[in-house]
Amino acid sequence: MNSFLNFDNFITPKFITILYWIILAVVALSGLGLMFSGNGFAGFLMGLVVILLGTLFTRVYCELLMVIFSMNNHLKKISEKSDV
């Protein structure tokens, strides 16, 4: 409990994973909505592009956020080793 109150352990990486799946579902539903919106072939292609690029950009963004937290963990380990 003390490490939680002193921000020694982060809970944000767990939320990033949940947020990733929520955004992925929104991207998929938006893309499907565009694909079958009745705008013909152009709407279908736009929906496909939204699904492909939205999935890619969502993954890259969430991975970049996770890298920040991973760097913090590694820096903390390095700091603990140098203190000994």
pTM of the model: 0.75
pLDDT of residue 4: 67
Band (1; pLDDT cuts 50, 70, 90) = low
Tens-place pLDDT, residues 36-78: 988 899 999 999 999 999 999 999 999 999 998 888 888 888 8
Name the H helices within the chain: 2-5, 12-35, 40-83
